[in-house]
């Protein structure tokens, strides 16, 4: 961990609910966290839907689904090569100090209650103003 | 509005023509504008198609469409919770001083004429060089 | 080329394997390169699948496919208006000094070997740590 990367920050909007894109968000988030960089993930729209209890299991690949076979194949390979599952990646993200912020507008719009969400993962609830404020203090921001 | 956030800039490429992603682009754009930050939205490909007259109405959700029911449900909830429609969000964006730039290469490629576009929203026409130049002066850039 | 833009850097993750998104990634990359900015494209997931030999030809539009007609129409228009194909854009990108980095985790996960990839385009193989390190030194980063 480089001392100069301390206090640096990255923000990521997780708009997509696709299996592979949520996985990417956590892999990138964990990558920055392991370098001592602060990371905030803002879950909105389909991304927030996937953060509901049991949501990671229902998440679909963004393409080449082969009637579900694509995801099965990837899950099998993830296991074979000891790559973490989304659930493990998300837990590591929180353990490494990453923040998961649920978009409160999406919650209202989609009728999602706090108890519907993975409360072990969500650390805060916020609006777009929160995202904008954090992004202005960040090195970069991604929309996934 | 914080004084130190004045003269800061954010650029966003709107490549997607999906209802929920265009909505996100304007919500994020308006969020930054209300903090005194300059925002430029560069509409390309399907995003620019949606900027044609009547295009916002035809925009589809990026997933879970339920034969159109998903979008109806979201529109109903938007109304119920007094969340602005895409059209209202876009007009606010322009009123708050946000710039909407139409990608001239996409216009040529897709055979889109100036009069096909929402001229009340588009402020300029530009190439990728324009986007790159503005992004180098920006805090962050998003690809939506 | 502005002297002050020298030594600036942009990183782009190409997660999508869609024809129009890969095209956008290279157009944006070439735009920055022509301004003297360093650009690294990190190909992951479906983006890396498209970087396999013959992959660009198989890439599909992200929407409005009309049974393949959409892509044919765009390819015809690209030719008519002398806009470069993905293959030409990619070769220009490399010639202008852009770096294409293949995600080694995706290679393992998807069972992709070095010889399966376009070795004339790929300059390096790297993990997420490589992406994070370069992004911390960058002006902006995009997730496409």
Interval B96-118: pLDDT, tens? 999 999 999 999 888 899 999 99
pLDDT of C119 reads 96
Query: Between B45, B138, B142, which is nearest C20 by CB?
Result: B45
Yes or no, beta carbons of C140 and B143 under 8 Å apart: no
Cα–Cα distance, A142 to C12 (Å, whole number): 10
Of A23-27, A84-88, A109-113, B81-85, the poorest mean pLDDT is in B81-85
pLDDT higher than 60, residue A66: no
pLDDT of C91 reads 96
Yes or no, beta carbons of C24 and B46 under 8 Å apart: no
The overall average pLDDT reported for chain C is 89
Cβ pairs bridging A and B (under 8 Å):
62
> How far is A81 from chain B, CA to nearest CA, in Å?
30
Mean of pLDDT values over A47-60: 90
Cα–Cα distance, B73 to B86 (Å, whole number): 15
Which residues of chain B make contact with A15, given a CB cutoff of 8 A?
A: 20-21, 24, 144
Mean of pLDDT values over A54-78: 74
- pLDDT grade, residue B62 (50/70/90)? confident
pLDDT of B91 reads 96
Q: Which residue of C has its CA nearest to B60?
A: C63
Nearest CA among C131, C33, B16 for reference residue A143: B16
pLDDT of B110 reads 85
- pLDDT grade, residue C2 (50/70/90)? low
pLDDT of B6 reads 67
- pLDDT grade, residue A3 (50/70/90)? low
Interface-testing mutation among C19, C28, C74, with chain B (most B C-beta atoms within 10 A): C28
Interface-testing mutation among A55, A136, A142, with chain B (most B C-beta atoms within 10 A): A136
pLDDT of B59 reads 83
CB interface of C with B, residues 40-59, below 8 Å: none
- CATH number, domain A7-143: 3.40.1260.10
pLDDT higher than 70, residue A68: no
Higher local confidence (pLDDT), A26 or A67 = A26
Q: Model confidence over B5-51: pLDDT tens digits?
A: 668 999 999 999 999 999 999 999 999 999 999 999 999 999 999 99
pLDDT higher than 70, residue B142: yes
Q: Is B66 exposed, middle or buried (0-12, 13-18, 19+ CB in 10 A)?
A: exposed
Measured between CB atoms, does C97 come within 8 Å of chain B? Answer: no
> How far is A54 from chain C, CA to nearest CA, in Å?
24
> How far is B108 from chain C, CA to nearest CA, in Å?
8
Cα–Cα distance, A39 to A36 (Å, whole number): 9
pLDDT higher than 80, residue C95: yes
> How far is B115 from chain A, CA to nearest CA, in Å?
31
pLDDT higher than 80, residue B4: no
What is the pTM assigned to this prediction? Answer: 0.92
pLDDT higher than 70, residue C4: no
- pLDDT grade, residue B2 (50/70/90)? low
Interface-testing mutation among C31, C42, C72, C82, with chain B (most B C-beta atoms within 10 A): C31
Of A54-58, A83-87, C2-6, C104-108, the poorest mean pLDDT is in C2-6
Which residues of chain C make contact with A27, given a CB cutoff of 8 A?
A: 105, 128
Give C12's contacts (C-beta < 8 A, 6+ positions apart). C25, C28, C29, C39, C40, C41, C42, C141, C142, C143, C144
Yes or no, beta carbons of A128 and B8 under 8 Å apart: no
Q: Which residue of C has its CA nearest to B144?
A: C144
Mean of pLDDT values over C89-116: 95
Query: Between B20, B37, B64, which is nearest A136 by CB?
Result: B37
ipTM: 0.90
pLDDT higher than 80, residue C67: no
Q: Model confidence over B121-138: pLDDT tens digits?
A: 999 999 999 999 999 999
> How far is B112 from chain A, CA to nearest CA, in Å?
27
pLDDT of A44 reads 96
pLDDT of A65 reads 55
Measured between CB atoms, does A14 come within 8 Å of chain C? Answer: no
Cα–Cα distance, B131 to B141 (Å, whole number): 10
pLDDT of B46 reads 92
pLDDT higher than 70, residue A69: no
Contact A2, A86 (CB under 8 A): no
Cα–Cα distance, C43 to C50 (Å, whole number): 9
Task: Indicate the SS3 state at residue B41.
Answer: strand
> How far is A121 from chain C, CA to nearest CA, in Å?
22
Mean of pLDDT values over A132-136: 97
pLDDT of A122 reads 98
């Amino acid at each position: 961990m480089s001392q100069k990367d301390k206090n640096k920050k990255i923000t990521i909007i997780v708009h997509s609910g696709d299996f592979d894109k949520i996985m990417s968000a956590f892999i990138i988030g964990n990558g920055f966290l392991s370098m001592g960089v602060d990371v905030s993930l803002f879950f909105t729209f389909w991304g927030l839907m996937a953060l509901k209890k049991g949501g990671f299991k229902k998440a679909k690949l963004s393409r080449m689904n082969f009637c579900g076979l694509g995801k099965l194949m990837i899950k099998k390979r993830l296991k074979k090569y000891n790559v973490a599952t989304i659930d493990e990646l998300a837990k590591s993200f929180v353990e490494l100090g990453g923040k998961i912020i649920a978009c409160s507008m999406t919650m209202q719009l989609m009728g999602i209650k706090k108890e519907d969400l993975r409360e072990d993962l969500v650390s805060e609830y916020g609006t777009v103003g929160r995202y904008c404020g954090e992004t202005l203090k960040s090195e970069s921001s991604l929309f996934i």
